[in-house]
């Protein structure tokens, strides 16, 4: 119903302007605002979408650990999910989900999991996958080599880039 444009893109100049909120700029500004990213993350996202391989850049002192932390969380998620689907101990959890009409495709889509009642099942699994003890503990998955979560449903928490940022447990 608008009679005047409220958002304009100039392909020739490669800029945009939003008359509603007053913002404008290039593609990096747009992606940063729209995706809620910092500049380095916006560059990386655009490079991925364009199929451009970016050299591994370090923007913070601890940024070298960030990808490793995501990797460990992904491994933990796979471990918990596999437990829910296959572990005998998780049969009660599977029956509970079934009784609540939670379908298998929903379980798979959200990568729901189960932490068995083991002292160091996850910790041993992650260690075998060459995850560093201090990073496992930094993520809160274990304390002094012992699993933090036992006999719990595990719910992965995904960030805006669809990476596993943490877990909820019930």
> Do residues 94 and 100 touch, judged by C-beta distance below 8 A?
no
Dist CA 170 CA 168 (whole Å): 7
1-26: string of b/e by CB count within 10 Å (b at 16+)? Answer: eeeeeeeeeeeeeeebebeeeeebee
- CA 96/CA 103 separation, integer angstroms: 11
In this predicted model, what pLDDT tens digit does every residue of 20-61 receive, in sequence order? 888 899 999 999 988 888 888 888 899 989 999 887 655 554
Instruction: Say whether pLDDT at 116 is over 90.
Output: yes
Average pLDDT over the chain reads 89
List the alpha helices (DSSP H) in 36-90: 39-50, 63-86
Q: Which two tokens stand for residue 91?
A: 């049969």
Q: From residue 162, give the alpha-carbon distance in Å to each of 67, 165, 166, 168.
A: 13, 9, 12, 16
Terminal CA-to-CA distance of the chain, rounded, Å? 48
Three-state DSSP state, 1: coil
Model confidence pLDDT, tens digit, residues 78-95: 999 999 999 999 999 999
pLDDT at 60: 53
Question: Strands 164-169 and 152-158: what pairing?
Answer: antiparallel
């Amino acid at each position: 119903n608008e009679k005047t444009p409220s958002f304009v893109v100039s392909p020739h100049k490669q800029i945009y302007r939003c008359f509603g909120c007053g913002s404008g700029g290039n593609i990096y500004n747009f992606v940063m605002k729209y995706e809620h990213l910092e500049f380095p993350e916006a560059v990386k996202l655009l490079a991925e979408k364009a199929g451009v391989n970016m050299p591994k850049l370090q923007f913070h002192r601890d940024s070298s650990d960030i990808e490793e932390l995501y990797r460990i969380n992904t491994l933990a998620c796979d471990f918990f999910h596999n437990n829910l689907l296959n572990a005998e101990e998780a049969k009660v959890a599977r029956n509970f989900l079934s009784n609540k009409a939670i379908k298998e495709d929903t379980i798979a889509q959200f990568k729901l999991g189960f932490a068995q009642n083991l002292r160091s099942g996850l910790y041993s699994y992650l260690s075998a996958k060459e995850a560093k003890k201090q990073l496992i503990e930094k993520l809160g998955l274990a304390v002094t080599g012992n699993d933090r979560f036992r006999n719990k449903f595990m719910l992965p928490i995904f960030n805006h880039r669809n990476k596993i940022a943490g877990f909820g447990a019930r």
